[in-house]
């Protein structure tokens, strides 16, 4: 049996060659540890860790790696025996093996250094697999090796995320947006490649994020070769079959077009990663079904919103990561128990104590006179028609009215007057005068264009689905670098994922999305690691309108993450249910209220 080693692994030295009796104490093992000098920092290794994994078996010892020299595996074995504890612990310091050119490590240094251990997943049973992880030094020591350089020092919680991903064949990294999920995933990939635990990796992401991933790989892992699957069908077939890049990146849209190729590759991928994995939350979706067919050894999912509307979203993601682990018939307690070792999620308020605050303010505004007249007429006429339809009314009919009223809350369709524009202009005057920048989110491109025309004095830029992908990066670059560009108008769909705009101090939600998870994603484009200071988020809500009613319902549903991850309750949906949609207008018939089952 041979063990793999991580790069720069200095965990154990060749005790036989050093003249040390290769016996670990079986009696009171927890009281005895070995502290040895390392080229990359201190490590301590307690005997009970090894004994717990071995259960008396003989195991090989991994040698230390001196600077620039590859690690070796000696055919030397430890075997637990009874030993004299006093004799063992009183050995002279000269008897403890030191690495070449390593400095002695004091106990205080060992105790004070932050150390993140790579723990084997609960489903790892084979002895050699458990030993592989248990015999590794702290992750900080591995990643400080001179061949694993980083442009920035990772945070402690990021080390924990890397240590969580690396040993797992099935994993969901569900950190809140802005905590560096991309960097954690890339670093875990580096470790897999360097240990030869993986050689062929596929990363699938939304099309707008391909450029971002290519850029992040260049920043965090420049030694990794990356191929972007693109071009004509002939080009893509060649890239799938013959390109020898370590990592291949493809967008979700290609999965259906390239199904015949991507599902029949030989050899199979060692790892398939889904970024923004909520794209496969619907198991019946064609893209989801194609991805399920891709042959792979490891399955990782990355998403800041594993649950957007209901726990069915998480079930769908788990179907890719670990098929059959959870299903729709399970309650919240059962799902939580089953995914405990599968998913890791951290939020900014828990791990970033020194991160600038996020300041939320709800701007409750009144409609202009023109908006008020149009809104009242539209609502009265719409509700009358819905009531007249009786039990024939459907969700589609109600949505049509809701959308019409929401659009009137933005602008009067005839005069284009808007209380929101008046408020935005007032706030932007102060923001621009202070040299700051702001992002404005809306769900409608037509609203974005109308806003752009009415605030032209602030030199707005637009970023939405109608902007070709190749033009989007230059727009973001101009917004960041041009001091005269004070505001960026974005659609929720185009700006809710994968963008780093932490230089912005102000975010405006011009209208409200149906799902608070999407709003949170948008907000976190600015409020993330590296934020220049506090981020002020203004949610514009028209008082006494459909917007206020939707706001109140969605605010009551923001606890779904807490319910599924922290408490033993059946979680509610975060989006609006059928009954809640019908209830927005208190629809009635001679028989009483119309509920969702009437559709």
> What residues contact residue 265 under an 8 Å CB cut-off, 6+ apart?
240, 241, 295
Q: Are residues 378 and 525 in the same domain?
A: yes
Q: Does 279 fall in a domain?
A: yes
Whether pTM exceeds 0.75: no
Q: Please tell me whether residues 388 and 528 are part of one structural domain.
A: yes
Full pLDDT tens readout for the chain, 599 residues: 333 444 444 333 333 333 333 333 333 333 223 322 223 333 333 334 444 444 433 333 333 333 344 433 333 233 333 434 343 333 333 333 222 222 333 333 334 456 777 777 777 667 767 777 766 667 776 666 545 777 878 888 888 899 899 989 999 999 877 788 999 999 999 989 988 889 999 999 988 788 889 989 998 999 999 999 999 999 999 999 998 999 999 999 999 999 999 999 988 999 999 998 988 988 888 999 999 999 999 999 999 878 877 788 888 999 999 998 888 888 878 888 888 889 999 877 677 666 677 788 888 888 999 999 999 999 999 888 888 887 787 888 888 888 999 999 999 999 999 999 999 998 898 888 888 899 999 999 999 999 999 999 999 999 998 888 888 889 988 998 999 999 999 998 876 555 677 788 889 999 988 777 778 878 877 776 666 677 889 999 998 999 988 888 777 666 655 566 553 333 344 455 556 655 665 555 445 555 444 33
559 inside domain: no
Residues 369 and 274 in one domain: no
Of residues 408, 512, 398, the one with CA closest to residue 450: 408
338 contacts 315 by C-beta, under 8 angstroms: no
Instruction: Among 295, 320, 351, identify where a domain stops.
Output: 351
**Dist CA 240 CA 221 (whole Å):** 22
Domain boundary among 322, 351, 380: 351
Based on the fold, state whether residues 244 and 317 are members of the same structural domain. yes
What is the spatial distance between Cα 105 and Cα 507, in angstroms, rounded to a whole number?
Answer: 49
Q: Is residue 131 part of a domain?
A: no
Q: Are residues 342 and 367 in the same domain?
A: no
Q: Residue 481 is inside which H or E element, if any?
A: helix 469-481
Continuous H helices in 113-152: 127-134, 139-143
Q: Is the separation of the CB atoms in 582 and 594 below 8 Å? A: yes
For residue 121, tell me if it sits in a domain: no
Interstrand relation of 487-491 and 438-442 (parallel, antiparallel or unpaired): parallel
Q: Are residues 380 and 283 both part of a single domain?
A: no
Q: Tell me, what CATH number does 154's domain have?
A: 3.40.50.10810
User: In this structure, is residue 549 part of a structural domain?
Assistant: yes
434: in domain: yes
347 and 377: one domain?
Answer: no
Boundary-marking domain end, from 351, 368, 400:
351
| 335, 403: one domain | no
Q: Count of domains in the chain? A: 3
Do 413 and 276 share a domain, yes or no? no
Task: Kindly write down the DSSP assignment for every residue of 415-474, as one continuous string.
Answer: T---HHHHHHHHHHHHHHHTT--EEEEES-HHHHHHHHHHTGGG--EEESTTS-HHHHHH
Establish if 598 belongs to a structural domain: no
87 in the same domain as 185: no
C-alpha–C-alpha distance, residues 457 and 389, integer Å: 47
* d(C-alpha 239, C-alpha 258), whole Å: 11
Query: Looking at the structure, do residues 379 and 522 belong to the same domain, yes or no?
Result: yes
| Domain span including residue 312 | 150-351
Q: Are residues 375 and 452 in the same domain?
A: yes
- C-alpha pair distances (Å), 256 with each of 252, 289, 393: 8, 9, 36
User: Residue 167: helix, strand or coil by DSSP?
Assistant: coil
Q: Would you say residue 452 lies in a domain?
A: yes
CB 520 within 8 Å of CB 574: no
Three-state DSSP at 185 gives helix
Count of C-beta atoms within a 10 Å radius of residue 198:
19
């Amino acid at each position: 049996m041979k063990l793999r080693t991580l790069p720069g692994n200095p965990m154990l030295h060749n005790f036989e060659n050093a003249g040390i009796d290769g016996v670990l104490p079986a009696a009171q093992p927890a009281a005895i540890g070995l502290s040895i000098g390392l080229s990359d920092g201190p490590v301590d290794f307690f005997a009970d860790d090894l004994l717990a994994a071995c259960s008396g078996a003989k195991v090989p010892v991994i040698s230390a790696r001196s600077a620039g020299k590859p690690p070796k595996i000696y055919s030397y074995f430890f075997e637990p025996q009874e030993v004299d504890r006093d004799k063992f612990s009183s050995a002279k310091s000269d008897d403890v093996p030191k690495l070449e050119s390593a400095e002695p490590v004091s106990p205080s240094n060992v105790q004070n250094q932050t150390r993140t251990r790579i723990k084997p997943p609960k489903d790892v049973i084979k002895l050699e697999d458990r030993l592989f992880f248990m015999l590794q030094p702290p992750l900080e020591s591995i990643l400080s090796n001179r061949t694993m350089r980083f442009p920035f020092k990772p945070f402690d919680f990021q080390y924990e995320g890397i240590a969580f991903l690396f040993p797992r064949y099935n994993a969901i990294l569900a950190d809140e947006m802005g905590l560096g999920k991309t960097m954690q995933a890339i670093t875990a990939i580096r470790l897999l490649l360097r240990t030869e635990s993986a050689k062929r990796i596929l990363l699938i992401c939304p099309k707008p994020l391909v450029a971002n991933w290519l850029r992040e790989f260049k920043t965090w892992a420049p030694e990794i070769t990356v191929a972007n699957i693109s071009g004509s069908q002939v080009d893509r077939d060649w890239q799938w079959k013959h390109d020898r890049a370590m990592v291949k990146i493809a967008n979700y849209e290609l999965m259906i077009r390239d199904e015949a190729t991507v599902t029949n590759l030989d050899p199979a991928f060692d790892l398939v990663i889904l970024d923004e994995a909520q794209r496969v939350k619907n198991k019946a979706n064609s893209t989801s079904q194609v991805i399920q067919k891709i042959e792979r050894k490891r399955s990782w999912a990355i998403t800041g919103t594993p649950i957007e509307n209901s726990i069915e979203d998480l079930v769908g993601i788990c179907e890719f990561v670990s098929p059959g682990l959870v299903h729709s018939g399970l309650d919240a307690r059962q799902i939580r128990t089953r995914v405990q070792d599968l998913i890791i999620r951290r939020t900014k308020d828990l791990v970033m104590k020194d991160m600038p605050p996020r300041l939320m303010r709800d701007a409750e505004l009144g409609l202009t006179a023109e908006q008020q007249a149009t809104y009242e007429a539209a609502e009265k006429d719409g509700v009358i028609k819905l009531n007249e339809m009786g039990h024939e009314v459907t969700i589609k009919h109600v949505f049509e009215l809701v959308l019409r009223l929401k659009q009137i809350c933005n602008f009067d369709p005839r005069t284009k007057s808007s209380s929101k524009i008046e408020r935005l202009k007032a706030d932007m005057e102060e923001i621009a005068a202070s040299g700051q920048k702001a992002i404005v989110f809306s769900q409608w491109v037509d609203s974005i264009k109308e806003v752009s025309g009415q605030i032209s004095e602030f030199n707005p830029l637009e970023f939405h689905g109608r902007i070709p992908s190749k033009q989007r990066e230059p727009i973001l670059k101009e917004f960041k670098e041009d001091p005269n560009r004070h505001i960026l108008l974005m659609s929720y769909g185009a700006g809710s994922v994968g963008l780093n705009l932490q230089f912005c101090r102000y975010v405006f939600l011009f209208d409200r999305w149906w799902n608070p998870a999407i709003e949170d994603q948008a907000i976190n484009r600015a409020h993330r690691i590296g934020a220049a200071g506090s981020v002020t988020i203004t949610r514009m809500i028209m008082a006494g309108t459909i917007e206020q009613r939707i706001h109140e319902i969605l605010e009551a549903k923001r606890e779904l993450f807490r319910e599924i991850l922290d408490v033993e309750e059946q979680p509610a949906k975060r989006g609006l249910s059928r009954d809640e949609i019908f209830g927005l207008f208190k629809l009635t018939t001679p028989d009483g209220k119309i509920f969702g089952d009437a559709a």
